[in-house]
Amino acid sequence: MLDWIRPRALNQLGMLSMNKRNIDYIARYNDRRAYPLVDNKLQTKLVVDEYEVASPELLQVVSEQHEIGHFRERVAALDGFAIKPAKGSGGKGILVITGREGDDFVKPSGARVSLADIERHLSNILAGLYSLGGSPDVAVIEALVRCDPRLARYSHEGVPDIRIVVFKGYPVMAMLRLATHASDGKANLHQGAVGVGLNLANGQALNAVQFDRPIEQHPDNGLNLADIRIDNWHYLLNMSSRCYEATGLGYMGVDLVVDETRGPLLLELNARPGLAIQIANGQGLLPRLKAIEGLKRPHLTPEERVHWAMTQAGADHISAPQRSLPELEPAFQA
């Protein structure tokens, strides 16, 4: 049985449609000259660093086919790492290695891949197999993100991340994306990851979905998703807001992760964030976007914008954001 809803009902819920997003927000507020900053992960890392937005450590860049032959020597001392196409999108082409077994490399799911498999993957990245428009690309090798265990326990075979939609520098909606067996350990909703809507006021779980259907427990580990509450929430929102100054993009998605030693890190930025975040939250984006468009005196700093957004969402007391590392202050509590 398919569940249907009338367009009028969607409008009443304030749901932002794809056409309206593309015309009224992406085309209007995103200067195309800034797209290379977010469509290229290597460029993103360089530009956000100037605005004190941390990202995973860059280990190396493979830009020529002849460099692939030296890959074994470059990763000989590494137990884990992540390979990403610089111009990839939607999580395509990302290969995460979490360990070694003999001469083989081990993925988060436990599957083993050989050096030849990785070299072939690198060659495909350089050929543009995963890049936007199929243009030639480079492979970015980053240090492995080891998620804070209190957050990682809610995910399965992969690192969970936090997507925050930012409009004119204001965080407007957020969700936690949890990897599943169906998503092959990737935090991608279209591939079967779980989306958990988060209250902007405090990082508390509001609603959860998988394949656009409401759920209450994680399908693989059975944990109750309503118990989720993100700690250090104020700092995460401030990180997302600072990305507005870094890029100048008026409408974007900011993807963050919490590392067990380094704390909050930026994974990537998206100039065309998807709309499934509305389903995860059970609320539409449109009223929030219009509220910001209607501001007579926009707030000028990330701290002011975040304070306004949290207050609008119902926060009672907002303390100054502090970047506490997980070993000092857990990045997640349930």
- Residue 318 has a pLDDT of 61
Q: What is the DSSP string of 275-295?
A: SHHHHHHTS-SHHHHHHHHT-
Lowest mean pLDDT among 11-15, 20-24, 81-85: 11-15
- Residue 76 has a pLDDT of 81
Across the range 111-120, mean pLDDT stands at 93
- The listed range with the strongest mean pLDDT (149-163, 166-180, 303-317) is 166-180
Four-residue CA torsion sign, 235, 313, 172, 154: positive
Do 132 and 87 form a contact (C-beta atoms < 8 A)? Answer: yes
Residue 328 has pLDDT above 50, yes or no: no
- Residue 315 has a pLDDT of 73
pLDDT tens digits for 128-144? 999 988 899 999 999 99
Residue 331 has pLDDT above 60, yes or no: no
- Residue 79 has a pLDDT of 83
* Backbone φ and ψ of 298, nearest 5°: -60, 150
Lowest mean pLDDT among 8-12, 206-210, 280-284, 327-331: 327-331
Q: What is the DSSP string of 179-226?
A: --TTTTT---GGGT-EEEEE-TTT-BEEEEEETTEE-SB-TTT--BGG
CA dist 171 and 304 (Å) reads 11
CA dist 166 and 74 (Å) reads 37
Collapse the DSSP code of 256 into the 3-class scheme (helix H, G, I; strand E, B; otherwise coil) and give the result: strand
Q: What is the DSSP string of 120-154?
A: HHHHHHHTTSSBGGG----EEEEEPP-B-HHHHTT
pLDDT tens digits for 64-109? 999 998 888 888 888 899 999 999 877 789 999 999 998 899 988 8
Do 240 and 167 form a contact (C-beta atoms < 8 A)? Answer: no
pTM surpassing 0.95? no
Mean of all residue pLDDT scores within the chain = 89
pLDDT tens digits for 174-231? 999 999 999 888 888 988 999 999 999 999 999 999 998 999 999 999 999 999 999 8
Provide long-range contacts, Cβ within 8 A and 24+ apart, for 285-293: 285/14, 285/15, 285/16, 285/165, 285/172, 285/173, 286/14, 286/15, 286/16, 286/20, 287/14, 288/14, 288/167, 288/172, 288/173, 288/312, 289/16, 289/25, 289/167, 289/172, 292/167, 292/168, 292/170, 292/172
Alpha carbon of 108 to those of 81, 142, 155: distances in Å?
11, 16, 11
Across the range 315-326, mean pLDDT stands at 57
User: Residue 220's CB: how many other CB atoms inside 10 A?
Assistant: 15
Across the range 103-127, mean pLDDT stands at 92
pLDDT tens digits for 232-279? 999 999 999 999 999 999 999 999 999 999 999 999 999 999 999 999
- Per the structure block, which two tokens stand in for 304? 């002011």
